[in-house]
């Protein structure tokens, strides 16, 4: 089993929480259910619910009506670090969202491996 954690920047800001706070309650509940499923299945959560995006970055896909939520994440030991979430409005994931996830992953790894983050 894996542990899902949400990335927090150096100031304690959590993009995942900010995104979730702005969702409708029913969609928020569905997202939480799928995050629990991701926690239980880790890299074995199949398509269409999860997929590899680029390199170590993966996506969790949650749809509710016309809303398509995406959460980008990566694995770190037995942890799944969710970088951020967004509403997907095009067929492809915007390059800016992938770049953001990669920057967050680099920051997380640098801070953790430098001993500044306690897990």
CB 60 within 8 A of CB 70: yes
CB 23 within 8 A of CB 62: no
The band of 117, judged by pLDDT with boundaries at 50, 70 and 90, is: low
At 90 the pLDDT is 85
CA atoms within 13 A on the CB side of 96: 3
- Percent of the chain at pLDDT exceeding 90: 84
Which domains, ranges and CATH numbers included, belong to the chain?
Answer: 3-113 (3.30.2310.20)
The per-residue pLDDT for range 45-54, each reduced to its tens digit, is 999 999 999 9
Sheet (strand 57-64) strand order:
3-6, 79-87, 67-76, 57-64, 50-54
The predicted model scores a pTM of 0.92
């Amino acid at each position: 089993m894996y542990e899902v954690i949400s990335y927090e920047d150096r100031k304690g800001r959590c993009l995942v929480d900010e995104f979730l706070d702005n969702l409708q309650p029913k969609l928020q509940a569905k997202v939480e259910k799928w995050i629990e499923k991701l926690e239980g299945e880790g890299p074995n959560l199949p398509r269409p619910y999860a997929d590899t995006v680029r390199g170590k970055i993966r996506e969790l896909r949650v749809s509710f009506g016309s809303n398509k939520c995406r959460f980008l994440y990566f694995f770190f030991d037995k942890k799944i670090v969710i970088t951020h979430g967004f509403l997907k409005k095009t067929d492809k994931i915007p390059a800016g969202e992938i770049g953001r996830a990669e920057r967050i992953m680099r920051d997380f790894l640098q801070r953790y491996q430098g001993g500044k983050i306690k897990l």
